[in-house]
Structure 1
Amino acid sequence: MDQITALAADPAAWAALATLIVMEVVLGIDNLIFISILTNKLPANQQTKARRIGIGLALIMRLGLLGTIAIIVRLTEPLFTAFGHGFSWRDLILIAGGLFLVWKATKEIHHNVDPDPGPDLFDSGRATLGFGAAVGQILMLDLVFSIDSIITAVGMTDHVPIMVVAVIVAVTVMLLAANPVARFLQANPTVVMLALGFLLMIGMTLIAEGFGAHVPKGYIYTAMAFSALVEGLNMLRRRANAKR
């Protein structure tokens, strides 16, 4: 309690908290896009439940990982060396998660561009993915994003209470934004393709980082923001043409 009181009175702690919350929210965008695209394939009456379960699992997983920070820190220690790079558990998890994300995004892109894709990706009346399978895939990506999130948090502050508050706030923002984001993607198929492109880029970035090639997050999110801005202008143009 004394530690929490001291942190509450420390301006540097509040600055660290604000910075970490922003960072956690930005890192959560990737997770939220994946959850939205995946749950939109479920029947309408299961979509909200699946999103809440997926985001709730993300919160539980991140808080659980915060309780094992000593183990998380050791995940960055090399296990073996190959191709001149020492691979740690974190590297292997990032590579596995990146491969899964690339596979999933590529599969969904193929489903969208195939002239005969079978069931519609956003047909709310028919399920193209089982509820359990959707939750399982969300859980798998939650693990990858959670480990990356916690390692980022550990690199920014040494105070666990600050990390806990930042994680809770960031996941709460994800929970509030989940349904609006999913409805927006459902109503704008071209944005879905853009989001899948984001996931493909993020997957390749995770693989690159797993092999020791650090890619600054600022470059990635700047590219995503610029692409989203261009797509927003295209949407405004389409609406203007429709009104004419």
Structure 2
Amino acid sequence: MAYSSSELLSKYQLFVDRERVRAADTPFLADAHLPILQQFVRVGSEGVHSVTGFIDRTGELFVTRSATKVLQRSQPMGVGLCFESLPPAPALSDAVRRLCRELEYFGIFEVEFVLFDGRWAVIDFNPRLFNQIGMDIRRGMPLPFLACLDAVGDTTSLREAVGKAQVQDNERIVFCDSFALRAFLLAQTITRRMSHKDRGHWRAWLEKHAADAVDYAADGSDPIPRIIHSLSQIHMGIKALPRFMRLSALDSAWTPQPVIQESS
């Protein structure tokens, strides 16, 4: 991320010089060392709107869910820690369907939007499994199952499953990586990057949604996934510590969005 034209030019040249060496191994991609530049858009109070779903190889069978990312690991952008379900957004779903057809893409997807100049703009298209997929499954959209049916060519069962998913949606469901959230709150408090009020807000959020929260690593009958996930997160946190300290020095260069985001 660059905050000025001079910084952009400097970082651009550093990137090109670094990637030119790697690109030498890909002679068929002459421009592989050149980055794609994108205007940075600050996330407003609307947050990041996520449209997730599945489209089959014919483009006919299509189903989506809408959610909002209410908390992420880092500012001003980062991996989502908490998501809340949203009612259907037909206009955005139709736009995603047209995009998939134009790209001739089929399968599972996550498309992220932010509000920019009064319109929803796409900032990311993830053609893969994604972090909060467990929330969609609990909401009646079994994405891995749909992809499996499409892969084996069971069109009859796929049509039935998609039809069922289109009418079943539990909008009370939320997603939360509880271990990562608690570690995030602790780190933010220790480094004085979060107020006690905000920390209290997220503790209350956890209690409020306890009955409807999905945590993919939590299983009362099998503690192993939680243990492995916790160790993985600790390892990643230690590796990211130097980068975190460097980024801390840039905090004064931008105005952060509030930690607490109001849901739509």
TM-score calculated relative to the size of structure 2: 0.23
Between Structure 1 and Structure 2, which shows a larger proportion of strand residues?
2
Between Structure 1 and Structure 2, which shows a larger proportion of helix residues?
1
TM-score calculated relative to the size of structure 1: 0.24
Relative contact order higher in (CA < 8 Å, ≥ 6 apart): 1
Q: Which has the larger radius of gyration?
A: 2
